[in-house]
């Protein structure tokens, strides 16, 4: 994937979380624990993300906010019955220029994600 091909990213959340996001921004799982929000994530996935360490750091995936290249993905599909409660926020591609951003071309919670990490 060429960086110039990326024009936007997506964040999937419940609509009721939008006011908090407008006040505090999109936060990582760890940073969001002190802020009231409705969690859209799946418990089993979060268990894997809590244990998954980023190569070259001592940080788990929970230290990072989770954005998608394409919002039409398995996570959104798994919440299809709640479509009227969910929104997809379009995020400027400039977030990729923030120091410390980690990019992967597949689900980072999977065991094999690091083999194709960009």
Note the pLDDT tens digit of each residue in 69-99.
Answer: 988 888 888 888 999 999 999 999 999 999 9
Which two three-digit tokens encode residue 36?
A: 């009231």
Distance CA 35, CA 100 (A): 23
What residues make up the domain containing 94?
A: 3-116
| Residues 98, 108 contacting (CB under 8 angstroms) | no
In tens, the pLDDT along 37-56 reads 888 877 777 777 777 777 77
75, 54, 89, 107: CA torsion to nearest 10: -30
pTM above threshold 0.85: no
Task: Give me the chain's average pLDDT, please.
Answer: 83
As for how many domains the chain has, the answer is 1
């Amino acid at each position: 994937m060429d960086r110039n091909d990326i024009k936007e990213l997506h964040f999937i959340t419940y609509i009721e979380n939008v006011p908090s996001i407008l006040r505090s921004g999109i936060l990582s799982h760890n940073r969001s624990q002190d802020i009231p929000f409705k969690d859209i994530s799946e418990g089993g996935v979060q268990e894997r993300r809590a244990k998954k360490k980023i190569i070259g750091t001592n940080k788990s995936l929970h230290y990072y906010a989770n954005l998608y290249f394409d919002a039409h993905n398995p996570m959104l599909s798994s919440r299809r019955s709640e479509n009227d409660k969910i929104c997809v926020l379009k995020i400027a591609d400039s977030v990729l220029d923030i120091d410390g951003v980690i990019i992967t071309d597949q689900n980072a919670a999977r065991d094999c994600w690091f083999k194709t990490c960009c």
